[in-house]
Amino acid sequence: MKSKPIRKTVEKPKKVDVKGIYLNRTSIREENVQKYIDLIKSTNLNAAVIDIKDDNGKLTYNSNIELANEIGSNSNPAINDLKKTIKRFKDEGIYTIARIVVFKDPYLAENKGDYAMKRKNGTIWQDAAGTKWVDPYKREVWDYITSIAQEVSDSGFDEIQYDYIRFPENGKRVDQEVSFDNPDRLSKAENILAFLKYSNDKLKNEPVYVSADIFGLVTTATNDMGIGQIWENISPNVDYISPMTYPSHYAPGSYGISNPDRAPYEIMLQAMKDANMRNNKLKNQGLKAAVIRPWIQDFDYKSVYSIEDVQKQIKALHDQGITQYLIWNAGNVYTVEAFK
């Protein structure tokens, strides 16, 4: 992809106290968009996180990027006219975020085997769910991701959000099985940091903010959890940081809570206490710290999540002085009454 002419001054979007929902590739089809605009307008919500590169590695729009055309990752796009679709949201005053799934990319791994994470015997590695990932050390992958971010930043989006900006979980097992293409011998955490700096350089002249999704426990963990995510590396290098603090995903005993799934307030409160503490330390060192904007759970996993369960998470945020959040439900079936 040709680089764009450098703009002398970049007008960033107006800052908004974001309260948003996630929209998958089905929800952003032309015939479904109005339903979700109406949902947002009927609540106190004001933002939409829109799939641009999804969990399967497929793009949801017509891309002109050479690699996307070569491998067909832009085939059968959900969105025929990206600018027009984003304008529908913008005309209603809705803040728009482009979700780009980064290193979990089975489509690129299958169609460009050189970029895939490889087993030590040279075959393509798969995670426990059978999903192929690309090698996070590959600079060609970095270029592909940031080219997508650059391309869609001119479509009216306010923000680029990186998801799966990490190595696969079960890091020790992965390290035993995989041979990474890592000539500079960077640690996982150093590599994720290097990618963010590379991306920031590529996007510095684009009219968008940048955010990153991280594991919920990154707010509290003192190491990279084997996935390359460390709060102190990521927070200073993005505008917004979104820990995925889903209570149902915390192990029994987390923060001394025997059943985290049934303690949505307590889990969120402790996670945000730790996040605030770490951001304050960064600021005290004279460093930038991202605005904290967590994902909250609005889905049933170990138990049915009620209006009260969703609202308890939001109350915990408010009690920690956090005013922004995103709401996750993979099927985009939201508990609208929780956001009235």
- Give me the pLDDT at residue 6, please: 55
Task: Write the CATH number for 106.
Answer: 3.20.20.80
In a domain, 7, yes or no: no
Exposed, middle or buried: residue 99 (CB in 10 Å: 0-12, 13-18, 19+)?
Answer: buried
CA dist., res. 205 & res. 207, Å (int): 7
Reduce the secondary structure of 295-308 to three states and give it as a string. EEECCCCCCCCCHH
Angle at 83 between CA 82 and CA 88, to 5 degrees: 100
CA dist., res. 93 & res. 285, Å (int): 37
In a domain, 319, yes or no: yes
Residue 164 has pLDDT above 60, yes or no: yes
Of 8, 291, 30, 52, the C-alpha closest to 160 is 52
- Give me the pLDDT at residue 5, please: 55
- What is the extent of the structural domain holding 154? 19-339
In a domain, 14, yes or no: no
pLDDT in tens, 222-251: 999 999 999 999 999 999 999 999 999 999
Exposed, middle or buried: residue 315 (CB in 10 Å: 0-12, 13-18, 19+)?
Answer: middle
In a domain, 5, yes or no: no
- Give me the pLDDT at residue 8, please: 53
Contact 44, 17 (CB under 8 A): no
Tokens of 237: 């290098």
Kindly state the DSSP code that residue 14 receives in the 8-state scheme: P
Number of domains in the chain: 1
pLDDT in tens, 166-205: 999 999 999 999 999 999 999 999 999 999 999 999 999 9
CA dist., res. 221 & res. 14, Å (int): 33
Element containing residue 150 per DSSP (H, E): helix 139-153
In a domain, 56, yes or no: yes
* In the chain, % of residues over pLDDT 90: 97
Could you tell me the pTM of the whole model? Answer: 0.96
Q: For residue 10, what pLDDT band results from cuts at 50, 70 and 90?
A: confident
Contact 265, 296 (CB under 8 A): no
In a domain, 8, yes or no: no
Residue 337 has pLDDT above 60, yes or no: yes
Average pLDDT over residues 77-94: 98
In a domain, 210, yes or no: yes
In a domain, 280, yes or no: yes
The pLDDT mean for the chain works out to 97
Name the more confident of 168 and 7. Answer: 168
